[in-house]
Amino acid sequence: MEFVDLKAQYRRIAERVDARIRRVLEHQRFILGPEVAELEQRLAARVGAKHCISCASGTDALLLALLALKIGSASGRNSPDEVITSPFTFFATGEMITLAGARPIFVDIEPVGHNLDPEKIEAAITPRTKAILPISLYGQPADMDAINAIAARHGLAVIEDAAQSFGALYRGRHSGNLSTIGCTSFFPSKPLGCYGDGGACFTNDDALAAAMEQLRNHGQQGRYRHTRIGINGRLDTLQAAVLLAKLEVFDEELTARAEIAGRYTALLKDSVPTPRLLHERTSAWAQYTIEVDDRASVESSLKGAGIPTAVHYPTPLHLQPVYAELARDVGWRIGSFPAAEHAADRVLSLPMHPYLEPHQIEEIAEALKVALRGPVGASAQRV
């Protein structure tokens, strides 16, 4: 069994993907070829944003957003800019804030969606705060209206890390187009994935769009005229071609993911805390993540039954070795963000992709129930 079965997907869409790739091989415009522009138009139309700027990864998307907003060293300010974000995320979120020359300021999550808790944000705002960067974790959007309202009161930008949530809705609006800039990833195992690295930024602001378009291409405004310090962060034409083929089945895949999540929950809800969707939200179901008390033993029992699992993520960012100095400076330690730390100790993601068969879901659920009972003989030993 695969955690994410990309081969099953390829068996379904091989003809479309091969045809799209072949066209690129024929025209040979590998850098910013016609597929890139076509993809950007389709993605922008899909989320209802004025602009889509594709780029080389979700990580680059975050960096481009921060650079376009002149947050960090690009600001020219002496004291470090601050960006409020969640400590319970993939490392890239905090990493790009730091790489841009700003400081990530962590705020705890709410325990249901595992996203930035809007009630805790305002206390963390200082005169140095420039933006709020919520993550829409596991595919479910953060409470973006509440976060946008706080940002508006304080004159801050909001960057949504929608790397896991492309395809999800919040109050009928698309994740990725819920704030100043939305960033997503096309890493192969994300809900919409390419065959390598890829990403995109969305915005409705013309000036930010122009800035990100230049920044992803060495800050060029016209050929060899450099008006900004940027990066080589373009999306490959080949990856755009793969994404165009995959977009044709994406809505069906989202429906399949939601059905699979529903099946899991029906089978597991009496045994273990299952994922819950908050009010007026859908999920792209990048992950189906439960919470267990004795994770190590559940993981090894499932592994023994041939079922792959993953932990997203075992260590919150404020406890990462690289942030030890920042943590000392700001005063973060174990216990600083109890909801994030509690989740990090307990979350366990089960296999999730649109091609999971009902019999596989049943097999996983049965194996999980056995695993939750603990190792055979453990209770006897305790007596």
Ligand X SMILES: *Cc1c(COP(=O)(O)O)cnc(C)c1O
Q: Out of 59, 115, 140, 179, point to the residue binding ligand X (CB under 6 A).
A: 59
Decide: is 316 part of the binding site for ligand X (CB under 6 A).
Answer: no
Say if CB 144 and CB 160 are below 8 A apart.
Answer: yes
Closer by beta carbon to ligand X, 134 or else 361: 134
**CA dist., res. 72 & res. 79, Å (int):** 9
- Minimum CB distance to ligand X, residue 60 (Å): 7
What residue number has its CB nearest to ligand X?
58
Decide: is 57 part of the binding site for ligand X (CB under 6 A).
Answer: yes
Least Cα distance to 291 among 267, 263, 312 occurs for 312
Q: How many of the other CB atoms lie within 10 Å of CB of 227? A: 11
Residue with tokens 């016609």: 34
- Minimum CB distance to ligand X, residue 69 (Å): 17
The tokens describing 199, both together, are 């990403």
CA 124 to chain centre: 23
Of 84-92, 172-180, 244-252, 354-362, the window that binds ligand X (rule: CB under 6 A) is 84-92
Which contacts of 297-302 are long-range, i.e. CB under 8 A and separated by 24 or more positions? 297/371, 297/374, 297/375, 298/348, 298/368, 298/371, 298/372, 299/348, 301/367, 301/370, 301/371, 301/375, 302/364, 302/367, 302/368, 302/371
**CA dist., res. 125 & res. 82, Å (int):** 9
Q: Taking the C-alpha atoms of 235, 241, 243 and 248 in order, what is their torsion angle to the nearest 10 degrees?
A: 150
Decide: is 197 part of the binding site for ligand X (CB under 6 A).
Answer: yes
Closer by beta carbon to ligand X, 197 or else 368: 197
Using CB under 6 A as the criterion, what x/- string covers residues 290-309 for binding ligand X?
--------------------
Of 63-71, 90-98, 258-266, 323-331, the window that binds ligand X (rule: CB under 6 A) is 90-98
- Minimum CB distance to ligand X, residue 37 (Å): 21
Q: Out of 33, 58, 104, 176, point to the residue binding ligand X (CB under 6 A).
A: 58
Decide: is 90 part of the binding site for ligand X (CB under 6 A).
Answer: yes
Decide: is 283 part of the binding site for ligand X (CB under 6 A).
Answer: no
**CA dist., res. 135 & res. 142, Å (int):** 7
Q: Which of residues 124-183 bind ligand X (CB under 6 A)?
A: 135, 161, 163-164
Q: Out of 166, 170, 187, 332, point to the residue binding ligand X (CB under 6 A).
A: 187
Least Cα distance to 243 among 298, 173, 167 occurs for 167
- Minimum CB distance to ligand X, residue 222 (Å): 28
- Minimum CB distance to ligand X, residue 163 (Å): 3
Closer by beta carbon to ligand X, 130 or else 312: 312
Q: What angle do CA 95, 101, 107 make, to 5 degrees?
A: 55
* Total residues at interface with ligand X (CB under 6 A): 15
- Minimum CB distance to ligand X, residue 117 (Å): 17
Closer by beta carbon to ligand X, 97 or else 367: 97
- Minimum CB distance to ligand X, residue 56 (Å): 8
CA distances from 325 to 87, 101, 128, 330 (A): 16, 15, 19, 9
Q: Out of 4, 36, 92, 178, point to the residue binding ligand X (CB under 6 A).
A: 92
**Which residues of this chain interact with ligand X, rule CB under 6 A?**
57-59, 89-90, 92-93, 135, 161, 163-164, 185, 187, 197, 199
